[in-house]
Amino acid sequence: MVEINAFCAKVFRKVPARLNIGLMLFLGCFITYMIRVNMSINILAMVEPRNENDTLPDYGARYPWNAKQEGLLLGAYFWGYLFTSIPGAYLAERFGPRIVTAIVFIGLTVITALSPLAATGGFATMYAARFITGILSGPLYPCFHNLISRWAPPDEKGKYVASLQGGTLGTIFTWQMIGFLVEVVGWPWGGFYIPAIITIVATVIWLYLTADRPDTHPRITSEERTYIENSLGDTVTNEKRVPPYLKVFRSVPFLSLMVLHYGNLWGLYFLLTATPKFMSEILGFNMGSTGVLSSLPHLARMLFSFVFGTIGDFIKRHEWMRITVMRKSFCIFSHIIPGLFLIGLCFVHEPYTCVALISLSLGFNGASVLTNLANSQDLAPNFAGTLYGIMNAIGTTTGFLTPLLVAHFTQYENTFENWRYVFMIGAGAYIGPALLFFFFGSGQVQPWNALEKPTKSEEDSK
């Protein structure tokens, strides 16, 4: 262990501390999504065939869950996630994102490893396992946004927010590699045990490389610490205090951001939970191909996000646009264009063209690193984690609504025509919130971000 620590210290000593933070944000999101989306692939191997004449490969035990139960299982994670997003944000700001994230990862390792055992108990225990997984995961993104607000210089923030697309790589890894692993070693190992092992290894790396703030990082140089602190100025304070929830919920810019984020998550979670089903049962791809092709839209989103993040930093560095104008303008790419591609899906039947349209829709949504994913940092850097926690708590309802919506339209007749309704609803969820944000969104720091100054009588009493 001493030799490992010495090696890590030698390797990472010359790497800027804020780069390590960016890498850990990417890794953290990777783990989050690996645990989140594994059920979308696993359930294809865990459920008995609807048609008694179908003979499916032996990937492990199969269970008699119907379409509605499948939708409930895919949505169980998001029900749990809903309850802990807001309190998780408070935990991140009260105790620090480093330790909160590590504790969550350890919990996820345990519950993921126990999931095959939970499945043997039937639908109820499997639902409980996924629900608990969601409860544990709620604090993670508030933790990540808390780190960004305290580590990212303003003209580098686009890259930091883009690092949150590590979740996209987690989706790609899960749907490609775990899809094949399920075929080779079965769903208990491929879908649950191996992800649990990866998660505990990631926890050790996270604890070694992260720190809550520049002034608590053990290996940061004084020059880098000064640069970060000076660039952030007085918009971020290290003082712990209760977020101004009442002012937050009365803020029109924040409410419009929350609606924009909801539309973004509707499109994202619909494709996360439904793409494997659509490609397998409608487009006719096998398990291995489904995993690969289902991951292509998320690969496009990750690549586009880094491109858009770099463009945003470049624009900000050269002051070509005001922040508000930039946030609103890029909604065209993050929401309007993806919605139009979903509309296009209603009129196309060729399988690979469908895959291309889905990939382009989610790819352009990568511009969300400059819109809904970044705007909480603009409005209130001191409470970026809290704002994101609230947004995610509301937006996470899309995670269990979209599987139920798909189940509703496909329960009796799973045809392309029925999927058109799902695509049109998704397009509306993208485009409508963007139009609202054009009118009411903002990129300016809100007054309630600042510490309340003591009154004259309070100062005199000190």
pLDDT digits (tens, 9 = 90+) for 118-169: 999 999 999 999 999 999 998 998 899 889 888 888 778 778 888 888 887 8
Closest by CA position to 256, among listed 435, 408, 453: 435
Token reading at 51: 């048609």
Percent of the chain with pLDDT over 70: 88
Helix (H, G, I), strand (E, B) or coil at 447: helix
Predicted local distance difference test score (pLDDT) of residue 462: 42
Predicted local distance difference test score (pLDDT) of residue 291: 61
30-55 pLDDT tens trace: 999 899 888 888 888 888 876 665 66
Average pLDDT over residues 159-185: 82
Which residues share a beta bridge with 47?
Answer: 63
- Cβ neighbours around 293 below 10 Å, total: 24
The answer to whether 22 touches 15, Cβ cutoff 8 Å, is no
- Cβ neighbours around 453 below 10 Å, total: 8
Predicted local distance difference test score (pLDDT) of residue 4: 46
Displacement of CA 327 from its chain's centroid (Å) = 19
345-385 pLDDT tens trace: 888 878 888 888 888 998 999 899 889 988 888 898 888 88
Percent of the chain with pLDDT over 90: 30
Rounded CA separation 316/377 (Å): 14
Predicted local distance difference test score (pLDDT) of residue 459: 42
**Who's near 411: CB < 8 A, 6+ residues apart?**
67, 68
Share the mean pLDDT of the chain: 84
Q: Give Dmax over CA atoms of the chain in angstroms.
A: 84
Residue 99 has pLDDT above 90, yes or no: yes
What are the start-end ranges of the H helices in 96-156? Answer: 97-120, 123-137, 140-151
Average pLDDT over residues 67-88: 85
- What does the DSSP 8-state code read for residue 318? T
Rounded CA separation 78/86 (Å): 14
The answer to whether 436 touches 372, Cβ cutoff 8 Å, is no
Q: Is 53 exposed, middle or buried (0-12, 13-18, 19+ CB in 10 A)?
A: exposed
Residue 290 has pLDDT above 70, yes or no: no
Predicted local distance difference test score (pLDDT) of residue 217: 87
Token reading at 25: 């944000």
Rounded CA separation 12/19 (Å): 10
Predicted local distance difference test score (pLDDT) of residue 287: 54
Predicted local distance difference test score (pLDDT) of residue 13: 57
Closest by CA position to 74, among listed 122, 134, 20: 134
Q: Is 270 exposed, middle or buried (0-12, 13-18, 19+ CB in 10 A)?
A: buried
Rounded CA separation 130/141 (Å): 18
Predicted local distance difference test score (pLDDT) of residue 432: 94
Q: Is 295 exposed, middle or buried (0-12, 13-18, 19+ CB in 10 A)?
A: buried
Rounded CA separation 341/364 (Å): 10
Predicted local distance difference test score (pLDDT) of residue 330: 94
**Who's near 430: CB < 8 A, 6+ residues apart?**
263, 264, 266, 267, 335, 336, 338, 339, 342, 365
Predicted local distance difference test score (pLDDT) of residue 435: 95
- Cβ neighbours around 334 below 10 Å, total: 29
Token reading at 285: 């791809």
Rounded CA separation 204/404 (Å): 37
Predicted local distance difference test score (pLDDT) of residue 36: 87
**Who's near 337: CB < 8 A, 6+ residues apart?**
361, 364
Token reading at 404: 């139920």
Predicted local distance difference test score (pLDDT) of residue 184: 87
194-238 pLDDT tens trace: 999 999 999 999 999 999 988 888 888 888 888 888 887 766 666
Helix (H, G, I), strand (E, B) or coil at 73: helix
Question: Cα angle vertex 280, ends 274, 283, to 5°?
Answer: 100
* Res. 1 pLDDT band, cuts 50 70 90: very low
Element (H, E) at 309: helix 287-317
The answer to whether 145 touches 151, Cβ cutoff 8 Å, is no
